Amino acid sequence: MRKIRFIPLVIFLLCTLLTQAQTPLANPPVEMADGMRSNGKIYVVVGVLVIILFGLFAYLISIDRKVSRVEKSIEENKK
């Protein structure tokens, strides 16, 4: 009697395993731009952005130095 009760329990447990096994099939992997990276082309974009960023930094630094020079010249005029 005990063994007979045990059988449906095992079947139900196997059913849960089955549904779990199916979940990856129900959710296919999300498409990402992995191919772009593997082709190496994303490095071009990164390169372009780094160049732009460094151009902006150079510009900011030059403005910063200009302001420092003006500050200095005002100080010297006072003396």
Binding site for other proteins (CB under 8 A): 29-33, 37, 42-43, 45-46, 49-50, 53-54, 57, 60-61, 63-64, 67-68, 70-71, 74-75, 78
Q: Contact at 8 Å (CB) between 36 and 42?
A: yes
Q: Least distance to other proteins from the beta carbon of 15, Å?
A: 28
The nearer residue to other proteins, 15 or 33, going by C-beta atoms, is 33
Q: Least distance to other proteins from the beta carbon of 16, Å?
A: 25
Burial of residue 11, with CB atoms counted within 10 A of its CB: 0-12 exposed, 13-18 middle, 19 or more buried: exposed
Q: Least distance to other proteins from the beta carbon of 23, Å?
A: 15
Long-range CB pairs of 27-34 (<8 Å, 24+ gap) are none
